[in-house]
Amino acid sequence: TRNTLQRYTRPNYWEGPAGSQEFLASAAINYPGTINVETQIVSYSVPPGYIGRLRWLSLVHIGGNPPDGTGSVIWRLRINGACVNGFSNLQFQLGNAVGGAFQSPGYPVSSVELNQGDVITATVTVTALQVGGVSTAAQLHGWVVSATAQGGTQ
C-alpha cells in the first residue's frame, strides 16, 4: 500500500490568526552613563486574556562608530525579567535605523511566544564608557489575539 503524505500548513506566525491585533512599541534612549547597569529601552505588556507572538525585533545604535562586536554594548530581550533564549548577550545590532527612524521591520523572531500578562522588554548594558554614539533604540513588533478565540483559557 502506498503512503500518502498530508500537506502540512504551518501557522501564519508573521501575520497572526484572524482577529489578531498588531502591536508596535519603540523608543530611543541615551546610553546609560554608568557601566554595567542594565537599562530598559522599551517594553510591551500583553493584555489580560490575550496571547501573541513577537515577529520582528530591532536593536540599534544611533550615532557614529557602531559598537558591533566590541562587547562595549550588550543588548538583551527579556520576558518577565528572564532572558529569552538566544537573546541574552547580543553584541551586534538587529535591524537598522537612520537618525532614530527604523528603516526595516527588523530581525525576524517568530519563535518568541507571548502569554497574557507577559512583559517583554528590550534592554541595553554599556560595558565601556567609550561608546561611539550617544543613544540606542529598540522596536518590538508583533501581534496578539484573544486566548479564548484560539482555544486557550483566560
Q: What is the pLDDT of residue 122?
A: 97
* Rounded-to-integer distance, Cα 32 and Cα 124, Å: 8
Residue 148, pLDDT score:
84
pTM as predicted: 0.84
3-state SS track over 97-134 = EECCEECCCCEEEEEEEECCCCEEEEEEEECCCCCCCC
Low-confidence residues in the chain, pLDDT < 50:
1-3, 5-10, 153-154
Q: What is the pLDDT of residues 32-74, one digit of tens each?
A: 888 999 999 999 999 999 999 999 999 999 888 888 999 999 9
What is the spatial distance between Cα 82 and Cα 95, in angstroms, rounded to a whole number? Answer: 23
